[in-house]
Amino acid sequence: MSKRRVLFLCNANSARSLMGEVLLRHMAGDEFETFSAGSEPDEPNAYTLEALQKQGLSTSGLESKSLERFKGEHFDFVIVLCDKEKQACYEWEGEATETFYWDIRDPRLIAKPDAYEQALQEIRRRLQLWLPLHTS
């Protein structure tokens, strides 16, 4: 059976969506092929990489990608991690069997030292709830 494809979206593809991509690959990479993209791609944030590495998660080859890169592609699941106020990352032009909207605050905009760790834990909790419903 081929792996199902999951695309994580956020604004800059420098924090939340990269976290989702890495976490799902770590948690269920045998069942899912994971990708991430942003509406205004930047580069992987140093605090994002640090938060992932503290959890023992590989950041090798991680890069920020544009929504354009996946235009017209089909994914089984698209998980949008934007704040409700920031709608730009909802503009992806592709196909998804199912789309989920998880309102995760952008850690780049939170002036707390543990904002990235908190975002990572929130995404992990949501994936722990999501996975049993979407794995075989």
Q: What is the pLDDT of residues 4-33, one digit of tens each?
A: 999 999 989 999 999 999 999 999 999 999
Angle, helices 16-28 vs 46-54, to 10°: value is: 30
Section 106-112 average pLDDT = 91
Give tens-digit pLDDT for 42-68: 999 999 999 999 999 999 999 999 988
* pTM for this entry: 0.94
What span, in angstroms and rounded, lies between the C-alpha atoms of 80 and 55? 23
Q: Is residue 89 predicted with pLDDT exceeding 80?
A: no
Ranges of beta strands (E only) in the chain are: 4-10, 32-38, 74-80, 95-101
What span, in angstroms and rounded, lies between the C-alpha atoms of 83 and 101? 9
**pLDDT above 90 covers what percent of the chain?**
75
Q: Is residue 41 predicted with pLDDT exceeding 60?
A: yes
Section 124-136 average pLDDT = 95
Q: Is residue 94 predicted with pLDDT exceeding 90?
A: no
What domains can be seen in the chain, in order of their start residue? 4-130 (3.40.50.2300)
